[in-house]
A and B are shown apart, each in its own frame.
Chain A
Amino acid sequence: RKEVEQDPGPFNVPEGATVAFNCTYSNSASQSFFWYRQDCRKEPKLLMSVYSSGNEDGRFTAQLNRASQYISLLIRDSKLSDSATYLCVVKGANFGNEKLTFGTGTRLTIIP
């Protein structure tokens, strides 16, 4: 089983719609979770961290479900500029092993 699994998509969504992605992780001891965004042929950039209580940043909402070991990202009122690949990222729990593990990404295209 992969450490971090995502639906690769592509998700083709009309502008203004709401879209949600899920990501599952295998290590129940993982401590920190993130969503990164990667535009075509560009470098990944941090979109937001995911906290146990859930967190919101404008149109973006991230949720963590530790019992089921998944995290989610919800994008409301989607914009053309939201078209990108969204990477689910999990940070290791053990001291000396705080590396980030990246999912393969979910590709989102917003259609005018």
Chain B
Amino acid sequence: NAGVTQTPKFQVLKTGQSMTLQCAQDMNHNSMYWYRQDPGMGLRLIYYSASEGTTDKGEVPNGYNVSRLNKREFSLRLESAAPSQTSVYFCASSESRVQETQYFGPGTRLLVL
């Protein structure tokens, strides 16, 4: 089992460029999440998908869109990157929305110039 995988590991973008961060899990989990982590701030929830076919905004959704492609995959898209989106992005999954243990991917380090 690979657990939760994310691609790419690193990315440098110019302001205004777009990109999609990919996430996949092989644990047959229903719920998936996207977080960002910035220095001095805790992990903040961007979007989540409680189950296949549903997505909901988290704490900091502005500037992002998501797609729950199927049960395994949950992608995060930046349509027009801004320097404020420079961060480390983590994808996570759990058996269900109410299930307490979340399993995280290795993260994507994004720099927007």
**Interface flag for A66 (CB, 8 Å):** no
| In the complex, chain B residues whose CB is within 8 Å of the CB of A4 | 42
Number of CB contacts from chain A to chain B under 8 A? 41
Contact A104 B42 (CB under 8 A): yes
Interface magnitude class on chain B: 20 to 34
| In the complex, chain B residues whose CB is within 8 Å of the CB of A99 | 45, 48, 58-59
Contact B43 A44 (CB under 8 A): yes
| CA gap between A103 and B42 in the complex, in Å | 5
Whole-angstrom distance between the Cβ of A70 and the nearest chain B Cβ = 16
Q: A-side interface residues toward B, CB under 8 Å?
A: 4, 8, 32, 34, 41-46, 49, 87, 91, 98-105
Q: B-side interface residues toward A, CB under 8 Å?
A: 35, 40-45, 48, 58-59, 90, 97-98, 100-102, 104-107
13 A-B interface contacts by CB (under 8 A): A42-B106, A43-B105, A44-B90, A45-B104, A46-B101, A87-B43, A99-B58, A99-B59, A100-B100, A101-B42, A102-B44, A104-B40, A104-B42
